[in-house]
Structure 1
Amino acid sequence: MEIVVAREPALDAAENLFCGRGIQSVGMDDIRGASGVSLKRLYQLFPAKEQLVEAYPERRDIRWRERLAAHVDHHQDPGERILAVFDWLRRWSAESDFRGCAWIDSYGELGAVSPRVAAQVGAHKQAFRGCLAGLVSDAGLPTPLAGRLYLLAEGAMVTAGINGRTDPADQAKQIARLLLDACR
């Protein structure tokens, strides 16, 4: 039981440190210090840093998609559900700990040398694209629109992470609205 309880603070600390400083610059001792979990217990949970690097985005993916779905589910109109994705991206990019897309950052640091990280990033991005495809389908709009919306959303995330502002999501929403209108 104690190991399971220690897992969450370790993952919380890893997520905060990896997103804030980068994966490669953070050591297990940094995670120990930030989590309050002993180094012995940390290595019982994650025998190698690579296992922690793989565990944190899995948990983050679940949380991220749940939060997005909860926000979108507050809307009934199929077109508004699509636009709600961009509203949610704006809210997310306004959070004080927002540093951009953790999966893009992970891929940039480790994607070329870690097939598991590359696969996790690919799975997350495919799931997000699938979410958009489902919303487009529910709205009765042409299938190719999902890919265009996906590129808009990804661009908004990257730009917001780089410039530390929320307006990329607003601009992407305006373009998404134009695309929706053109497809109707």
Structure 2
Amino acid sequence: MNVEEARERILAAAEELYYNKGYSAVGMDELRSAAGVSLRRLYALFPSKVDIITAVLHDKQSEWETNLTERVEAAPADPRERLLAIYSYLQDWFASDGFRGCAFINAFGELGGTHPQIATIVRDQKAAFQQYVSTLVRDLGAPDELAAQLSILAEGAQTTAAISADPAVAVQARSAAAVLIDSALRPA
């Protein structure tokens, strides 16, 4: 197995184990076993557990941005519908097998207070999401504050859906987003 294949196997195993069990609960030996690599190879590629978590979160950010953007771009060209597509994307995600919440929120909850680099990655991901929503809000011609409101609504929906195990949370969030959007567009 070459270096790139070993790296991919480690990251795939880490993503699955961390998402299903939590970041702190998974030890390096369990990860090594799940990835099918030696402990020596694991540490040669990732000198610490934080290095693995960092790589997993970077991969998750790329995956999130790609999937969300594809969903929004597939929506009708109407800027309002493109904003609401965020919540349709969340609904599908919440209904998927094994949904356990946002990997970033989970990482921050477990490790944000003790690992500043993890906290920074999570904050950067959340800021990038809000910036993306800001772009969609500008396309709509709505006030900038709407982006923060819609982002908070989406983040809250992720947490609530994870706790309640109810994908309908996204439908409720979509309805609330529609009210916020319509209110923001109403003449003062």
Deviation readout 1:139-168 (Å, 9 max, x if unpaired): 111110001101110110000111111111
1:150 corresponds to: 151
CA offsets 1:96-147 (integer angstroms, 9 cap, x no match): 1210011111111111111100000000000011111110001111110001
Name 1:114's counterpart in structure 2: 115
Mapped partners of 1:154, 1:57: distance in 2:
17
Question: Which segments of 5 or more consecutive residues in structure 1 lack a partner in the other structure?
Answer: none
Counting only pairs closer than 5 Å after superposition, residues 72-151 of structure 1 correspond to structure 2 as 72-75=72-75, 76-151=77-152
Residue 38 of structure 1 corresponds to: 38
Match of 1:55 in 2: 55
**Separation of aligned partners in 2, 1:161 and 1:135:** 26
The percentage of counterpart residues that share the same residue type is 42
What displacement does 1:84 show?
0.0
TM-score (norm 1): 0.97
Shift of 1:38: 2.1
Structure 2 length normalisation: TM-score?
0.95
Measured in 2, the distance between the counterparts of 1:179 and 1:172 equals 10
Map 1:152-167 to 2 at 5 A.
152-167=153-168
Amino acid at match of 1:73: E
CA-CA distance at 1:44 after TM superposition: 1.3
Note the alpha carbon deviations across 1:37-84, whole angstroms, 9 max, x for none: 222211111111121111110111001110000000012111000000
Give the aligned residue type for 1:156: A
Letter aligned with residue 137 of structure 1: R
Query: 1: CA distance between counterparts of 2:91 and 2:65?
Result: 15
**After TM superposition, what 4+ stretches of structure 1 lie above 4 angstroms from structure 2?**
none
> Is the counterpart of residue 179 in structure 1 residue 180 in structure 2?
yes
User: Which blocks of at least 5 consecutive residues in structure 2 are unaligned?
Assistant: none
Aligned residue pairs: how many?
A: 184
Residues 1:22 and 2:22 aligned together: yes
Shift of 1:94: 1.2
Root-mean-square deviation over aligned CA pairs:
1.1
